Amino acid sequence: MQEQEQEEMSMMKLTIEAPWYTYQKKIKALFEDDTDIVVGDIYEPEDGSSDVAIDIEVKTHGKFMALDRVLVKHVVFGNVTLSIYLFDEENANGTEDYISLYKTIFSGNPIVSSVKEATDFAGTRLGFVLFKPEVVQFLDDDTSDYYGNWNGLAEDIAREIFVEGYRGVNFCTEDKRNLPGTGKMA
């Protein structure tokens, strides 16, 4: 009898959130350790411009300009539109070099190993944002996870919130075999 009571007590009480809350948590998880970017909570805009919105405050103008160029600003979930608004203190023009934009966006962000450039066999310039090989996890009332967490890689979140492959920039996870201090090389 005691075993059954303990099992019932260990069951979680789950509530289901709308997908735009998960999307906001993904953005927040990607930048939570970056002191230059503050992701706000979901709210309903009073002007009716969209169903729900998120404000993102960017404290460095270079990062603001970079994010403004590559961040998806409107995401549709069925009949609900989520708008993302960026704010900073300046209004200057940004650079057209998209690899530099991502270098600026992720500078000082510990979730990113590096942003690298390469040239393919045809001479096309490519960029790669290399995320550290770790799982991003946050509570999301996920009924398929024992703890109710959303689990994934930072590169997957980046593919969802940025324009994947735009202007030759891609997202991937750093190969653990090539990380400093691992003593291994591919």
Residue 40 pLDDT grade (very low, low, confident, very high; cuts 50, 70, 90): very high
The full length of the chain comes to: 186
Question: What percentage of the chain has pLDDT greater than the value 90?
Answer: 54
Q: Assess whether pLDDT exceeds 60 at residue 61.
A: yes
And the tokens for 9? 């007590």
pLDDT mean over 72-93? 82
Which of 47, 38, 33 has the alpha carbon at shortest distance from 67?
Answer: 38
Q: What is the pTM of this model?
A: 0.63
And the tokens for 126? 């490519």
State the pLDDT at residue 92: 35
State the pLDDT at residue 178: 67
State the pLDDT at residue 122: 66
Contact partners, residue 92, CB within 8 Å, separation at least 6: 61, 65
